[in-house]
A and B are shown apart, each in its own frame.
Chain A
Amino acid sequence: MSLPSALTAVAPLAKSLADQTKENSWINILIFVGFVAITMVVVFRASRNNNTAADYYAAGRSFSGGQNGTAIAGDYLSAASFLGITGAIAINGYDGFLYSIGFLVAWLVALLLVAELLRNTGKFTMADVLAFRLKQRPVRIAAATTTLVVCFFYLLAQMAGAGGLVSLLLGLDSSNLVGQNIVIAVVGVLMIVYVLIGGMKGTTWVQIIKAFLLIIGAAIMTIIVLAMNGFNLSALMDAAVQTSVNEGGVGEALLNPGAAYGKAPLDFISLALALVLGTAALPHVLMRFYTVPTAKEARKSVVWAIWLIGGFYIFTLVLGYGAGALIGKQAILDAPGGVNAAAPLLAFVIGGPLLLGFISAVAFATILAVVAGLTITAAASFAHDIYSNVIVKGEPKPEMEVKVARRTVVVIGLVAIGGGILANGQNIAFLVALAFAIAASANLPTIIYSLFWKKFTTQGALWSMYGGLAAAIILIAFSPVVSGSEKAMIHGADFAWFPLANPGIISIPLAFFLGWLGTVLDKNAEDPRIQAEMEVRSLTGIGAEKAVDH
């Protein structure tokens, strides 16, 4: 979600800020080490009962709705949300705010249509639900494929982002690639340790602690910024406009839509569609609903998540305009880390090195918590869907599945480190948008159809999942983010024929259409008894997986 810019002018404020943050980088490191130490103790304590698959993947289904809702907020409020949206509002004003609305409204899809029904019918993974009443093997393979692809892109974005963040937070130069790569490796190794030892329980606690720190930190900053402007939002916006005018920027236009998407409204609509429909189909979000004992607790989780995430996005509105007012667009773009530097620089200006250290450590913790959640989801999908249900055909030796999952964690961790190093410095914004677009096109139609449409068949599911996946990836490969524009991934080449940066507006409706077409053309009908069982289970909770007693 970062919005890189090629501006080269050097503003003195940014330079002095960057120097000062560099001098104080030991405070950042100290606070971050403290976070790691505390979470490690929690993870070790949480790991004592991690023997069965239900313990390892679903934390024994023993978290309360409030705990799980906080963990969901910790999982969902990634560095892109915190640093990216604050920076986007500071630089593009109103258009940055648009992101947060899509990210929040999306939770209503999860609340109304997905969370409880999924909790009642599934066991560990998204594929459990999708394959419930369809043919197990092909549907599981398809669902595991889309799960792994979404997790991979999301993971890559987080890891690559970690490298960029470091330049600002630890005072490394943007050109110090070795230093950045070491940090990417440290993040990867820590993440492997958390997930390997702590399983879902440890991961959940890391996310809860991180969500708590992030929301407290953002709340403190919001109160300080508002207090500086007499608790008047309009006065704060005035100050941001004034700073913008002083540096020769857009001024008043900061308050109106159009700064980022004025010339590309279709691009914005496509992104809006992917955001609102992608959230309820992100595998790592869906998997969190299995960590609570009942569907009612799953509902409570979403309610908690909506309040926490919504409150947080309102904070980012204040923080974004606050950064715009106190630091200014030019100074932010000139700082190492660019647009992502807005929130840390603001922390420094209003709270000195200590608040900067706290916010920087939270930003690191954010990346750790999110990559841990993604890794356990991908490992569970491989071990449970591919290994247990496809390779050994539903008859794994006891404890073998968890063993396979743990090995997968190590492999994914190493792939994430390697991928993060390769993708370091790339335009990572499109990776996150792509993950949402793939989730919305490849997963959501099949989730909705299999929960709400009696006649839905295996062929419909396969056409929709593979069709949606292929459409999203092909369109992005031939879009301006990969080639043919200034900010493109591959410089100097131009094979783009799809004009939009986000494929959602085409690939999502296409996937819904393919699911319908595949079903009506299918000569085989599915077993109505299993459809009946799924429907009764989904609404009543009969036969749903119970919490594990220890």
Chain B
Amino acid sequence: MGNSAHESAAGPVDFVAEQNSEEFQALKKSHRSFVLPVAAGFLLWYFAYVLLAAYAHDFMSIKVWGNINIGLILGLLQFVTTFGITAWYVSYANRKLDPQATVIRQRLEAQIDAANLTKEEV
């Protein structure tokens, strides 16, 4: 038994050293410092809405404009925040995450190619 079934993609790469490298730690920090708080935030906002819909019927039924009440507005705001967070994350990933990830990936791929080349020459 063990982990033999998935073939390691990159024989020559020392992943533990890579994981501890400053470059990778910076990427990991950029990723987690965005996705974890944003995920916590939208889940809190969603459950706040769910609790209001479940228990605060009178508040949700207050009419704001015509037949449009607070419940409908908060519900549609859930759509708005979902679209907004999506656009925000995409822009963040394109600006901050992708460039960092590409640098590391290209360096590692070059390392793997070099190792394969040496192997063939021998």
Give chain A nearest CB distance to B55 CB in angstroms: 6
Contact between B35 and A257, CB atoms less than 8 A apart = no
Interface string of B25-65 (1 = CB under 8 A from A): 00110011001001100110011011101110100110001
Beyond known contacts A108-B82, A541-B101: 9 more, CB 8 A cutoff: A98-B75, A136-B6, A266-B54, A306-B86, A536-B104, A540-B104, A542-B10, A543-B9, A543-B10
Known: A135-B2, A536-B15. A233 touches B50 (CB 8 A): no
Complex: A320 Cα to B86 Cα, angstroms: 27
By secondary structure, the A interface counts as helix
Interface string of A537-550 (1 = CB under 8 A from B): 10111111000000
The number of A-B residue pairs with CB atoms under 8 Å apart is 171
Contact between B3 and A530, CB atoms less than 8 A apart = yes
Stretch at the interface among A6-14, A52-60, A109-117: A109-117
Contact between A234 and B105, CB atoms less than 8 A apart = no
Contact between B57 and A108, CB atoms less than 8 A apart = no
Give chain B nearest CB distance to A515 CB in angstroms: 17
Contact between B39 and A542, CB atoms less than 8 A apart = no
Residues of B within 8 A of A132 (CB): 6
Give chain B nearest CB distance to A519 CB in angstroms: 17
B16 lies within 8 A of chain A by Cβ? yes
Residues of B within 8 A of A307 (CB): 83, 86
Interface size of A by CB at 8 A reads 68
Residues of chain B at the chain A interface (Cβ within 8 Å): 1-6, 8-10, 13, 15-16, 18-19, 24, 27-28, 31-32, 35, 38-39, 42-43, 46-47, 49-51, 53-55, 57, 60-61, 65-69, 71-72, 75-76, 78-79, 82-83, 85-86, 89-90, 93, 97-98, 101, 104-105, 108-109
Q: For A237, give the chain B residue with the smallest CB separation.
A: B67
Q: For B63, give the chain A residue with the smallest CB separation.
A: A255
CB-CB contacts below 8 Å: A71-115 with B: 94, 97-98, 101-102, 104-105, 107-109, 111-113
Stretch at the interface among A268-276, A459-467, A478-486: A268-276
Contact between A108 and B39, CB atoms less than 8 A apart = yes
A288 lies within 8 A of chain B by Cβ? no
Known: A105-B42, A265-B54. A542 touches B13 (CB 8 A): yes
Q: For A104, give the chain B residue with the smallest CB separation.
A: B82
A455 lies within 8 A of chain B by Cβ? no
CB-CB contacts below 8 Å: A225-280 with B: 232-235, 237-238, 241, 255-258, 261-262, 265-266, 268-269, 272, 276
Q: For B81, give the chain A residue with the smallest CB separation.
A: A105
Residues of B within 8 A of A535 (CB): 19, 28
A349 lies within 8 A of chain B by Cβ? no
Q: For B66, give the chain A residue with the smallest CB separation.
A: A234
Contact between B90 and A299, CB atoms less than 8 A apart = yes
Choose from B9, B39, B72 the contact partner of A255 (Cβ within 8 Å). Answer: B72
Contact between A108 and B86, CB atoms less than 8 A apart = yes
Contact between A133 and B39, CB atoms less than 8 A apart = no
Q: For A454, give the chain B residue with the smallest CB separation.
A: B19
Give chain B nearest CB distance to A282 CB in angstroms: 18
Contact between A533 and B15, CB atoms less than 8 A apart = yes
